[in-house]
Structure 1
């Protein structure tokens, strides 16, 4: 998992700038910290966990407790070919939370079912959820609603149409678009991009013109 700790540290500084000087100090104190020969456990401790713990105090801690913990999302863990590194990461992660159960931090891992991952995560400290058992349609509908709303703010043609005719797309059309995706976020994105693409000399149609065609797409 080369570069994994460095990536998390970079994201951490973006979300919590106060951690930046602490991470820089750790690298100055240990210039070889990012070398591949250094264990992932040590890298995570020095570059992620310790800086996060160090700033979680005073007003920031109170605010975090009131709003809820920070989340680190790790998608596609099964795609990492370094199985030993993945196992080391999970083992250390569980040990860290065992030692610091009240820390306002949560790790969300999205992964295909792989034996070396499942064996590590089948633990009382882990909440497992099978996403296949959840319908994606509500999330897809929300994605489309937000996307069309954002497009309307940026596109004067759409904005003018809404001012004259009201809501667009209308609720029945939005419901139909959601169904047309067949539960696929990829198709939802494709339908949206097709509908709101700017007019060209070859295709002078507006998003309102293209919506009926989008409604006939079928992802099922």
Structure 2
């Protein structure tokens, strides 16, 4: 009986010891698993931080590149605007100079006198004057001259041509009627309308400005 109690106690002791050992092993295994899991999480977090740092670095680089590009574009745009304004100023100065040369020629002075004084100037243009005016305009405005020469039909050449030549002075119909020997400015308006139609210039556009713009 006593031996059985001893064996029972020993069995209980072994069982208890086994439970303790298993519990310790389980605890150690759980601890190792948690540590491994924590290490894995830390590695993932470190990789995430590296990615975030890389993204921040690339973002800074991209913003710097964009800023540099914007500055270059703005600089290029400013340079373009400056060059455009310079070209426009030169073109305007050239157009003004051409106008001055035309108005200061011997024939040009006569036409300006009629513009300023009308019929009271008692100024007329001879065939030689018209020929000289044609040469002046052909030299100063070659593209415009070639344009209206091509557009005007041969049967109306003299009147249309002279009307075109006077248009470079931006003359009104009264001056045109006087210099072209027409009966009145109504007739001059009719000729001007026909001329615009022949050249394909609408009524809202200045004929003088249109012709000058061709050069």
Give the TM-score range, shorter chain.
Answer: under 0.3
TM normalised by structure 2 equals 0.21
Larger radius of gyration: 2
Higher percent of residues as helix? 2
Higher percent of residues as strand? 1
